[in-house]
Chains A and B, each alone.
Chain A
């Protein structure tokens, strides 16, 4: 035996002391907090922000479902562009004024629609991508960019959801472009000659002092609530811009 009777007792006491001291440290309040932080509270917090983000995504997805058609109709009524004058004729947007042309292209329409969705529906929490499928429909993809953060005494969690909101619509966006071209053709050929407009324009229009307001039926948009007509409306003003009178105009698309 390498331990004699005299050495055995202090050794046992020492071992017992060390075990008890270790156990005391392990279960001390601070140690327990650390354990809770790593095996419980942090996971619970993460679970909670996961649910918070899932809630927000479910909510925004349903807002898209409920409001997308309404926003598309509003977008069309606004000429597929943003307001470029405070004095827009009958709330229509100018595609051309005083020789300055603002006819929307596919890219500007995509950008403007994405911006309108941000304003009307989803706020700034998502990156927005719009894909037009000619003759088929369109897809709006919303990718969350918002971060959900939570922190405890010894952890910090930042979570950005990876779930994308994908909204599909059967609306054929190419009808917008076709109708923009129809207006362009009439404007190029007729300018402010209303007699020519009467002959060439096969869509609804009205004129007031060289300001032409027009509406073009651009198909229908369908959702769970039924089908609604989409009417593209805009204005062309052939009057000169009177800068001296403070008349300002610029394309804001």
Chain B
């Protein structure tokens, strides 16, 4: 009788372990992969709202977006755009950010290996739209490690 019980337990456990491994293993790996994609996606998405706030920041010319528009019309506004934009982002992220406006403007000198840059399309007076991209992942990495002071 004891042998029968033992055999029953052993057989049941064996079946169930196999069952669990079969279903659980791929599920977990898929979940991890999915989580990474979701984190990247949501992380990058946050930058859109930062960029929107940046474009609406008041400056002498009106707003940063006005300054971008003026720069699109006249290159002579480049220095002003860099000055104002750097002033906004440097206060928060130090050097650990990268902002690219169009093809020719890029400031913030952080070069991270794991970029989460997020871009918006920006109209260019009827011409091919430009892109404005922001990457603050470098700062966030430092922040997680408690080393954000290194950015300044």
Contacts and interface: CB of A to CB of B under 8 A. Distances in A.
A17 interface: yes
Given A32-B27, A47-B41, A54 B52 contact: yes
B69 A20 contact: no
Contacts of B105: none
Contact of B27 (A9, A28, A44): A28
B113 to A, nearest CB: 24
B107 interface: no
Contact of A24 (B16, B31, B122): B16
A59 interface: yes
A58 B16 contact: no
A1 interface: no
A27 B24 contact: yes
Given A9-B9, A24-B16, A27-B28, A65 B66 contact: yes
Nearest to B8: A13
Contacts of A160: none
Interface string A40-58: 1101100110110011001
B125 interface: yes
Interface residues of B, number: 42
A87 interface: no
A171 to B, nearest CB: 16
B61 interface: yes
A155 interface: no
Nearest to B2: A9
Contacts of B16: 16-17, 20-21, 24
Contacts of B38: 40-41, 43-44
A66 B61 CA distance: 14
B29 to A, nearest CB: 10
Contacts of B34: 36, 40-41
Contact of A16 (B12, B52, B129): B12
A74 B15 CA distance: 79
Contacts of B48: 51, 54-55, 58
B73 A32 contact: no
A224 interface: yes
B23 A59 contact: no
Contacts of A44: 37-38, 41-42
Given A48-B41, A225-B70, A36 B31 contact: yes
B52 A20 contact: no
A89 to B, nearest CB: 28
Interface of A: 9-10, 13, 16-17, 20-21, 23-24, 27-29, 31-32, 35-36, 40-41, 43-44, 47-48, 50-51, 54-55, 58-59, 61-63, 65-67, 224-225
Interface of B: 5, 8-9, 12-13, 16-17, 19-20, 23-24, 26-28, 30-31, 34-35, 37-38, 41-42, 45, 48-49, 51-52, 55, 61-62, 65-66, 69-70, 73, 120-123, 125-126, 129
Closest A-B pairs by Cβ, 6 of them: A224-B66, A20-B16, A32-B27, A44-B38, A27-B24, A51-B45
